[in-house]
């Protein structure tokens, strides 16, 4: 159950898929001003849901996965309504005491601790080797004409702290163009919904006539295929989820830094660089290195199964 944001939904679905049990995804919203209250201070939260919310009614689930602060109050209410029979898992820092849930799974850079807290190196996600192999096989012909090694570039966008601007997009595009001209790499770029048309246009102008593939938003997004096909990944640093997904592949991941990360995101990047997982992209020669991939999702799923009495010896 999520409030619909793509990043939050992706994490919850990734964990649900890793558990492998039948389930249902519900999207909810909490009306103002109740949505601004701490989750454990919102009275009769079921009556505070927006009219667009999915119905939240019995029978209550055996396991409830929520992600993001605004879904925490409904998780608490369901746990109470089920008399504690629903095992509640909350992803991210709920910004209230963890005791209101059976398990809290925050990223480690939040600094949250407790007996029922299981910190992760990065964001949970839906990436699996099987999914990447399937996508790569289905779309391999799309990138067959590009030179090798293949460099995939994953472009995000602005968030609360950092901004992706046309000027910065132009500078990134110029660096990528130089990479093709000096190293002869193949280049495939996929923007996100947050990139925006102005930034995408600036990138494409800066690339000029060097050979490349640029997803224009039509047809299937090659995101999974590129994670599977690429030899090296370049990722803008605005999204912990996107970086975590790239780092799940075990391939070299360069971060295209954007200015003014927030504190939590800066800590996230600092830890991965200190551990040798990622490097900063400066436009220079590309290297190869090994690291332990970011793959927390199956480990969290296994931990939940153990807590519930499944796979006790795994």
Would you say the C-alpha torsion 155, 160, 161, 167 has a positive or negative sign? Answer: positive
Instruction: Dump pLDDT digits (tens) for 47-99.
Output: 999 999 999 999 999 999 999 888 999 999 999 999 999 999 999 999 999 99
The model's confidence at residue 313, banded by pLDDT at 50, 70 and 90, is low
Q: Are 45 and 30 in contact (CB under 8 A)?
A: yes
User: Which strand (E) or helix (H) includes residue 124?
Assistant: none
Instruction: Please tell me the predicted confidence (pLDDT) of residue 68.
Output: 86
pLDDT tens per residue across span 207-223: 999 999 999 988 889 99
Q: Around Cβ 58, how many Cβ atoms within 10 Å? A: 8
Determine the angle formed by the axes of helices 197-207 and 166-183, rounding to 10 degrees: 30
Closest CA to 278 of 236, 226, 225: 236
3-state SS, residue 125: coil
For CATH 3.40.50.2000, the residue range(s) in the chain are 129-280
**DSSP assignment string, 147-211:** -SSEEEEEE----SS----HHHHHHHHHHHHHHHHHH--EEEEEE-TTT-HHHHHHHHHHHTTSS
Distance CA 6, CA 68 (A): 11
How do beta strands 232-236 and 253-256 pair? parallel
Terminal C-alpha separation, the chain: 27
Please say if the pLDDT value at position 183 is more than 60: yes
**CATH number for region 129-280:** 3.40.50.2000
Using DSSP's 3-state secondary structure scheme, residue 244 falls into: helix
Separation of alpha carbons 272 and 122, rounded Å: 9
Q: Counting runs of H as helices and runs of E as strands, what totals does the chain give?
A: 9, 9
pTM for the full model?
0.93
Are the beta carbons of 204 and 237 closer than 8 angstroms? Answer: no
Task: Return the structure tokens found at 241.
Answer: 């989820």
Spatial distance between the Cα atoms of 150 and 229, rounded to a whole number of angstroms: 7
pLDDT in tens, 93-150: 999 999 999 999 999 999 999 999 999 999 999 999 999 999 999 999 999 999 999 9
């Amino acid at each position: 159950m999520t409030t619909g944001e793509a990043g939050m939904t992706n994490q919850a679905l990734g964990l649900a898929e890793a558990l492998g049990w039948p389930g249902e995804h519900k999207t909810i919203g909490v009306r103002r001003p109740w949505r601004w209250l701490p989750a454990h201070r919102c009275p009769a939260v079921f009556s505070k849901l927006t009219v667009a919310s999915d119905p939240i009614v019995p029978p209550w689930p055996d396991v409830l996965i929520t992600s993001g602060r605004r879904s925490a109050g409904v998780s608490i209410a369901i746990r109470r309504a089920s008399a504690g029979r629903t095992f509640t898992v909350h992803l991210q820092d709920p910004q209230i005491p963890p005791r209101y849930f059976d398990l809290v799974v925050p990223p480690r850079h939040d600094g949250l601790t407790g007996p029922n807290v299981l910190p992760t190196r990065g964001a949970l996600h839906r990436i699996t080797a099987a999914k990447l192999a399937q996508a790569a096989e289905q779309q391999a012909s799309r990138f067959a004409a590009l030179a090798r090694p293949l460099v995939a570039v994953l472009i995000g966008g602005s968030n609360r702290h950092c901004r992706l601007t046309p000027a910065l997009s132009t500078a990134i595009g110029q660096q990528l163009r130089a990479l093709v001209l000096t190293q002869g790499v193949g280049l495939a770029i996929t923007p996100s919904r947050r990139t925006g048309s102005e930034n995408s246009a600036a990138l494409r102008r800066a690339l000029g006539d060097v050979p490349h593939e640029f997803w224009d938003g039509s047809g299937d997004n090659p995101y999974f295929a590129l994670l599977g096909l690429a030899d090296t990944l370049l990722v803008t640093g605005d999204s912990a989820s996107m970086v975590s997904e790239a780092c799940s592949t075990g391939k070299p991941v360069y971060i295209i830094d954007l200015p003014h990360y927030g504190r939590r995101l800066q800590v996230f990047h600092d830890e991965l660089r200190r551990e040798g997982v990622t490097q900063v992209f400066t436009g220079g020669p590309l290297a190869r290195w090994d690291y332990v991939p970011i793959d927390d999702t199956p480990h969290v799923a296994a931990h939940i199964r153990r807590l519930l009495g499944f796979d006790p010896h795994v």
